[in-house]
Amino acid sequence: METKLGRLPVDEQLAALRTVLESNEILVEVLAGAAELRLPDWYLTAGCVFQTVWNVVTGRPPAEGVLDHDLFYFDPDLSWDAEDTVIRAGARRFAGLPATVEIRNEARVHLWYERKFGVPCPPHESAEAAIDSFAATTCCVGVRLERDGRWRVYAPHGLSDIFNLVVRPNPVLAPRHVYETKTARWCEQWPALRVLPWP
């Protein structure tokens, strides 16, 4: 399903992305709260971003089916205490918001990734590097509010696939079963998705 937004020039796609995301009031509130936390190298990323786009493109309420809001940041302090302090601050800031906000220090991912997913993860060097490792290139997008109010968008694979409902595998870290499990779940909710096979 090719959409009008997916055929726009890149600069217009960026403007369209902001317009689409701003239609999700919960996401906007999470962005504002994340900016207040002043975390290093942070992004709101993953499902809350691309699923909001899918909802708007397919005529659904913007926040429908968005299970959580992934807030990545990067702090070289690998201690659990430091991350836990941030998670607690986030819990206070987002208390009362009708959303789950998952806050993670991406510098620590290699410490637990293999236990959870069965494959080792080399240490990430930035929040952007963590976003690069998602199971689908379509997921590889992050947004944040800069202190001057500008939006910063990280999208190493562009935005056309997101607007066009194409899910493309990204076999750099996550194993095949993670990709296939996620895409099966997404297709139940967004049946118009075109899921490309794992290579």
The bridge status of strand 69-73 relative to strand 142-145 is unpaired
Residues 108, 86: Cα–Cα separation, whole Å: 13
Residues 38, 19: Cα–Cα separation, whole Å: 24
| 34: number of Cβ within 10 Å | 25
Find where tokens 């990323």 sit: 45
Cα 3 to chain centroid distance, Å, stands at 21
Give the tens place of pLDDT for each residue, 65-124: 998 999 999 999 999 999 999 999 999 999 989 999 999 999 999 999 999 888 899 999
Q: Is the pLDDT of residue 5 over 90?
A: no
- The pLDDT confidence band at residue 1, using thresholds 50, 70 and 90, is low
CA distances from 97 to 6, 33, 168, 194, 195 (A): 31, 10, 32, 32, 32
8 A C-beta contact, residue 52 and residue 66: yes
Query: pLDDT value at position 94?
Result: 97
Domain boundaries, the chain: 5-192
Give the tens place of pLDDT for each residue, 172-189: 998 999 999 999 999 999
**How crowded is the C-beta side of 179, counted as CA atoms within 13 Å?**
22
Q: What 3-state DSSP class applies to 63?
A: coil
Give the tens place of pLDDT for each residue, 131-158: 999 999 999 999 999 988 899 999 999 9
Residues 2, 152: Cα–Cα separation, whole Å: 26
Average of per-residue pLDDT across 42-69:
96
